[in-house]
Amino acid sequence: MRHFGPCVLCVLVLLAGAKAQTANPTDPAITALSVMGVVSDLKADTRQVVVTTAAGTQVTVTLSDRTVFMRIPPGEKTKDKFIKIAPTDFTLGDSVFARGRLSEDRKTMPALEFYVMSKGDIAEKRERERGEWSKRGIAGTISAVNAETKEITVEARAAEGPKPIVVATTAETKFRRYAPDSVRFDDAKSGTFTDLKVGDQLRALGAKSADGARFTPEEIVTGSFQTISGTITEIDAEKKEIKIKDHPVTIALSKDSSMRRLTPEMVAALSAPAKGSGDLQEMFDKLPAFTLQELKPGDAILISSTKGADPARVTAIAVVSGVGPLLQNSQTRRATAVSLGAMSLGGP
């Protein structure tokens, strides 16, 4: 389920009114004057639309002849670029922003304005952005930061293995920082050069020099991650929590946690990191998925997470099973941890 990007969200929040009070303190997608989410049900006979927010809250939006319907083209940020549409020009799964006045029970809203970003447009934009970052992007681990020259040395991932690249930032470079417990690109916050730390995972979009040794970035996205490995001692399926041996930490799973099982081919690739393993993110995405119910005490797993404020509790970004052979010695354990950290860094 994918929702409006941060730029469009800012525009729509302004449209709703900067002083609008949050109607649901636990759900930022709902205010006294607006609701934002995905169309999960359509009731044509009553002209009602059920909008489900990213947090799972549902609001029934009632449409009328007074409602203004607009489509938001991908990437557009200003209202004068929005396109007027018919009341029927949206469908299940489309992202929407409805403006009106929320009822006292916070469950219904008559819509004065109804903005739509179709799921087809979103998918097309996402694919276009992914292609752009794949062709013009680099990813790797920060090995040095030079505050004086505003340059970053990155051990970039390449098919032939890690390769050092100097990333020379400029005054125009945009910095973003992944939010705690999330590698969703849309959740990343604005940042600065001073946020960068040795050991951070980095993705950058820009231009590489002819010899491949330097990179001029238009945008940099970074995050501070940690990888925990061990044997499962306890699973609480109801709370979606895992505990592992020798680590005093509770691992919580969310709806965004990615769970993948290593294949023999991936085990071989990670066992010989010096030879390179291609695009680790692409390989990770193709690994078979599994569920929490398939895990059991005694299984060896690797967990990737952001470094949060509470060291006793982390939310898993990625959980990888089938890693027993890789944890038998410190060298392969460390190489696998580094690779998992690189794989779990999400792109646009």
User: What does the pLDDT profile of the chain (348 residues) look like in tens digits?
Assistant: 344 444 444 444 444 443 445 555 668 889 999 999 999 999 988 999 999 998 889 999 999 999 999 998 877 777 888 989 999 989 998 999 999 999 999 899 999 999 998 877 777 777 777 788 888 998 888 999 999 999 999 988 666 667 899 999 999 999 999 877 666 777 788 999 999 999 898 999 999 999 989 999 999 999 888 888 889 999 999 999 999 998 889 999 988 788 889 888 777 776 665 444 445 556 666 789 899 999 999 999 988 888 766 778 888 888 989 888 777 666 555 555 555 555 555 555
| Residues 232 and 253: beta-carbon distance below 8 Å | no
Q: Is 212 found in the same domain as 241?
A: no
DSSP-derived pairing of the beta strands 250-252 and 313-315: parallel
CATH number at residue 54: 2.40.50.140
Range of the structural domain that residue 288 is part of: 225-343
* 310 within domain boundaries: yes
How far apart (Å, rounded) are the C-alpha atoms in residues 333 and 250?
Answer: 21
Q: Which of 85, 117, 149 is the last residue in one of the domains? A: 117
Nearest in space to 116 (alpha carbons), one of 97, 99, 93, 88 = 97
The whole-model pTM stands at 0.60
For 4-30, give the secondary structure using H, E and C. Answer: CCHHHHHHHHHHHCCCCCECCCCCCCE
Token duo for residue 126? 């996402």
What total number of domains does the chain contain?
3
Q: Which of 117, 137, 166 is the last residue in one of the domains? A: 117
Q: Is 338 found in the same domain as 272?
A: yes
Q: Is 257 found in the same domain as 203?
A: no
**Contacts for 238 with CB less than 8 Å, ≥ 6 apart:** none
CATH number at residue 242: 2.40.50.320
* 348 within domain boundaries: no
Q: Is 151 found in the same domain as 246?
A: no
* 1 within domain boundaries: no
How far apart (Å, rounded) are the C-alpha atoms in residues 220 and 206?
Answer: 9
**Contacts for 340 with CB less than 8 Å, ≥ 6 apart:** 227, 302, 304, 318, 320
Token duo for residue 26? 């636990």
Nearest in space to 67 (alpha carbons), one of 36, 35, 113, 115 = 113
* 280 within domain boundaries: yes
